[in-house]
Amino acid sequence: MSLEQTAQAIGLSKGWACRLRNQFIEGGAVGNKGKSVRGGRHREHFTLEREAELLKPFLESARMGGILVVSQIKPQLEIALGRKMALSSVYK
């Protein structure tokens, strides 16, 4: 089957059909590789469980009518991480 016929059969452009074919020839999985490239926690500092544990006291205080103050959270995260971290990372 030609590349044009394959593209038409799978409903994709010739370029995508070529890309998928080459990926298959290289031994890679075609389609969803089990991990999305977009979204998610690709650059996480802590596991979800560890992050929840670290933020628990702050979130409990917020639930009781308080507010989250990033300048109080940042030092605790830096101690747990063992290094300085950007303020923008705390907001994320």
Tokens (6 digits) for 78:
């830096």
On average, the pLDDT of the chain sits at: 86
The mean per-residue pLDDT over the stretch 58-80 comes to: 91
What is the model's pLDDT at position 44?
A: 84
Query: Contact, 55 vs 46, CB < 8 A?
Result: no
What is the rounded average pLDDT of the residues 77-82?
A: 94
Residue 85 contacts residue 59 (beta carbons within 8 Å): no
For residue 12, name the pLDDT band (cuts at 50, 70, 90): very high
- Residues 3-30, mean pLDDT to the nearest whole number: 87
What pLDDT, on the 0 to 100 scale, is given for residue 35? 56
Work out whether the CA dihedral 9, 11, 13, 19 comes out positive or negative. Answer: negative
Residues sharing a CB contact under 8 Å with residue 68, sequence separation 6 or more, in sequence order: 58, 59, 62
Range 21-49 average pLDDT: 74
pTM of the model: 0.55
